[in-house]
Amino acid sequence: MQTEQELKNLVKQKYTEIALQDKDANQTSCCGSGCCSTEVYNIMTDDYSNMKGYAADADLGLGCGLPTQFAKIRQGDTVIDLGSGAGNDVFIARAETGENGKVIGIDFTPAMIEKAKANAAKLGYTNVEFRQGDIEQMPVDDNTADVVVSNCVLNLEPNKKAVINEIYRVLKPGAHFSISDIVLQGDLPKPLQEAAEMYAGCVSGAIQKNDYLNLITEAGYVNVTLQKEKPIIIPDDILQQYLSEEELTQFKNSNMGIYSVTVYADKPNAIKACCGPECCN
């Protein structure tokens, strides 16, 4: 079993490679991980191309949903995008928050930060910012964001509880997040659980759907809502790299499922401290 730091190093290495290759190569892989399928289609990503603010150069085909579509971003909001990559969700969020708003992208891969900054400069955007950092310890002050978005990133984090708590810290009271991620129902076969490529490819780092939702509730969020859910089907030519024919048959006949979900939740408004019997029930 790899340590948390070893897993983070793996992700940083793989996503550095992705930042330096073209979009077509990313989109024929398992969430960009390099576990390539001979079937040329994107396994997880939804189509952003018709969304306002879309910039093709910033879309590396690495997401598993459209969190910005569901994020209820308003004009003038401050938005934080976790795992901002080349800037795709940042630029979509900027189209929603407008010139008076601000969008901060956070990514811990230097090559991604460089690519995102270059894309922003090319587009002439002055109200977006990209900061290198770990989303378990964001380089952001408390109570900064009106909205947090993220697209297929928490599954890459070994300590998901820490990230969910950190999101809570940076959200303003009454603010909210909308996050797309990969979750499981049932157990992955052991070879898939242990495959480094499948971890970097957003699959073996995923946790059970109920556990994922419970982490959010336990952190103190309210109005937790499943905004979208879709099954993820991994092609046989990828699975055959890790599973025997017998294991593959068992996997396909099991009730195990891999899903992309988009989850919304509010941080509660600050509660006024009880001042005595007259304000307490």
Q: What distance in Å separates the CA atoms of residue 8 and residue 200, rounded to the nearest whole number?
A: 9
> Where are the chain's structural domains?
4-267
Q: With 0-12 CB in 10 A as exposed, 13-18 as middle and 19+ as buried, what is 124?
A: exposed
HEC states along 25-78?
A: HHHCCCCCCCCCCCCCCCCCCCCCCCCCCCCHHHCCCCCCCCHHHHCCCCCCCE
Q: Which two tokens stand for residue 20?
A: 């330096």
Name which CATH class applies to 4-267. alpha beta
- pLDDT per residue rounded down to tens, the chain (281 residues): 578 787 777 777 777 877 777 655 554 444 444 444 433 235 667 778 888 998 988 888 778 889 999 999 999 999 999 999 999 999 999 999 999 999 999 999 999 999 999 999 999 999 999 999 999 999 999 999 999 999 989 988 889 999 999 999 999 999 999 999 999 999 888 888 887 667 666 677 889 999 999 999 999 999 999 999 999 888 888 888 889 999 999 999 998 999 999 999 999 997 544 444 444 44
- Calculate the dihedral angle through the C-alpha atoms of 168, 171, 176, 181, rounding to the nearest 10 degrees: -60
The pTM (predicted TM-score) of the whole model is: 0.86
Q: Which two tokens stand for residue 54?
A: 């879309």
